[in-house]
Structure 1
Amino acid sequence: MSNHDKALDAALNATEWGYEVFPLSINKTPIIRSPHDKGHRCQGMHQCGSPGHGVGDATSDPDLVRWLFDQAPKAVGYGIRCGARLVGLDLDRKENVDGVATLNRLAGRHGFDVPRTTTVCTPSGGFHLWLAVPGGTIVPNSVGKVGPGIDVRSSRGYVVGPGSIGRKGAYVLHPKLGFIDPEPIPEQLLKLMLPPPPKHRPQRHSSPMPGAGGRALDGLVRVVLNSSEGNRNDRLFWAAAKAWEHVRDGHVAASDVEGQLVEAAIRVGLGAAEAMRTVASAGRGVAA
């Protein structure tokens, strides 16, 4: 059996575990080229009908998985979408960095146990730990934020699935564990993954007016909460620009605008840093 067919079989196994997958090249990157010009906003083949959106093509439909692999005859691996129910903890072991040792130190320092969960052995001697996400929690992707040698794969991210081939070798399930239901992220480890809460700056007006301004902000928060992939950032910018007008008029506190709109943006999948930048950008030019 070819490496392509082995990867396809492994990807189909992952769909039986309930995960969404898509084909990868030997470089562990999406192999199907985008059908769009640079700068497009299409988020996946569910929007345009054509493959080539990386993790946006991920599916748990076996027939679609086979079709995707047919479009990628040189695929020798597959990615598993992370985010809504799965976070991948990538523990690198290369050069002078040891993510396994870092995680063990963090566990001792913060008082949590490293979960016994699905573990994929990587060709570099590292591991991918699969962890379950608490309902409604948006964990951002990060590189080294948790600690040296530890990367987090979450919303719009992916992990290389077991049964894949990379340039340095194969990705395989840990021989003593196999596939088991991913364990929840320990609470103390989750805190290290999440961004700090938005900083509340001093109010720009000492006595914001209650009533209509607060109701308007509630409506703008709903605009953000009702947004979807592809228009979340645009909706956030529009809502923030309107909200800053109420700040300027003295009807709403600046801290409420920043806190509530950023929180809403995180709930619909935007990263905290991106959301804070967008809200701040919309507020430029508002008088202090």
Structure 2
Amino acid sequence: MATTDRQATTLALAHALSAAERGLAVIPLSRTKLPALRSPHRDDPVPGRPCHGECGRFGHGVYDASTDPVRIRELFAAAPWATGYGIACGLPPYHLIGVDLDTKSCTDSSAALRELALRHLFTIPETVVVLTPSGGRHLWLTGPPDTVVPNSAGRLAPGIDIRGAGGYLVGPGSRTDHGVYTAVPGTAHLAPAACPPSLLRLLLPPPRPHQPAPPAAGDHGRGLVHFVLTAHEGQRNTRLFWAACRAYENGIGPALVAPLTEAALHTGLTEREARATIASAARMTGHHP
């Protein structure tokens, strides 16, 4: 068993180095498909800001990924039990996006992808396809360098998971508890194809609706300003004084000095009269104008 594991580790390292030569950043994986090296911070007494490798030690998952053969050998030397390797997504030069078509769900994920393609008018280009031991497939696509595709599970459709920035794909040649990952014949030599724009739009989170910044004084402040604007002759000073008092009592007096002054000018008061009235209201309510 030990000999078999050593052979699996040697083979995984060879595959990882070959992937790195193609520009793909890699990390060693265990038989469970998880990063082979545990976090060096797991026993820290007080958790701090998440470390992404700044400490200089191994064990930061996908943040350890590298294309440097020396570093890759060091990673595998630190994890002699590794039997596979992971390929980091979202990194240059490919900005890899993995479309994971799962077979463990009740839904036919391949049929779901075909339906999405018909509905949104895109075609999956010829690209690298990796078969999983369970019968699933990983499609390798590339994204634009200025676009961050998030990881998701089942958001696109049931049974379809997406590996994006911060995620990784199990590389072909990796051995796990359930079997070996293999490239579909005729695709291993291909470069990952560009993700169709229509599909890329589906992979990105919906844009947040524009929320206009509320005025500093809120709805109550707008009501007070409107109260002053609708004053008739003979009410102008009284309404301004009342509105200014309410504004200071509610803690929004300083923010409403300019809007109330402008409203008073529209009713016919002079700026000097308006500011004097507001200042009087401030003093009346115990504030310094």
Fold shared per TM-score above 0.5: yes
Q: Quick check: 173-182 or 67-76, which moved more?
A: 173-182
- The answer for the alignment partner of 1:2 in structure 2 is 7
Take 2:114 and 2:47, find their aligned partners in 1: how far apart are those partners?
41
CA drift of 1:202 comes to 5.0
Structure 2 counterparts to residues 1-288 of structure 1, below 5 A: 2-36=7-41, 37=44, 39-45=47-53, 47-84=54-91, 85-201=95-211, 203-205=213-215
SS in 2 for 1:13: helix
Give the letter aligned to residue 39 of structure 1.
Answer: P
SS in 2 for 1:144: strand
Larger CA Rg, structure 1 vs 2: 2
TM-score normalized by structure 2?
0.68
Give the letter aligned to residue 10 of structure 1.
Answer: H
Give runs of ≥4 in structure 1 deviating > 4 Å.
none
Give the letter aligned to residue 55 of structure 1.
Answer: V
TM-score normalized by structure 1?
0.68
Take 1:67 and 1:80, find their aligned partners in 2: how far apart are those partners?
17
Structure 1: gaps of 5 or more residues: 209-247, 251-288
Give the letter aligned to residue 118 of structure 1.
Answer: V
Going from structure 1 to structure 2, the CA distance change for 1:58 and 1:40 (only over 3 Å counts) comes to farther
Going from structure 1 to structure 2, the CA distance change for 1:11 and 1:159 (only over 3 Å counts) comes to same
CA drift of 1:42 comes to 4.8
Take 1:66 and 1:97, find their aligned partners in 2: how far apart are those partners?
40
Going from structure 1 to structure 2, the CA distance change for 1:96 and 1:108 (only over 3 Å counts) comes to same
1:243-279 Cα shifts (integer Å, max 9, x gaps): xxxxx969xxxxxxxxxxxxxxxxxxxxxxxxxxxxx
Contact 1:100 1:126 in 2 (8 A): no
CA drift of 1:96 comes to 1.2
Contact 2:151 2:165 in 1 (8 A): yes
Identity level (%): 48
Task: Give the number of equivalent residue pairs.
Answer: 210
Contact 1:11 1:78 in 2 (8 A): yes
Going from structure 1 to structure 2, the CA distance change for 1:207 and 1:182 (only over 3 Å counts) comes to farther
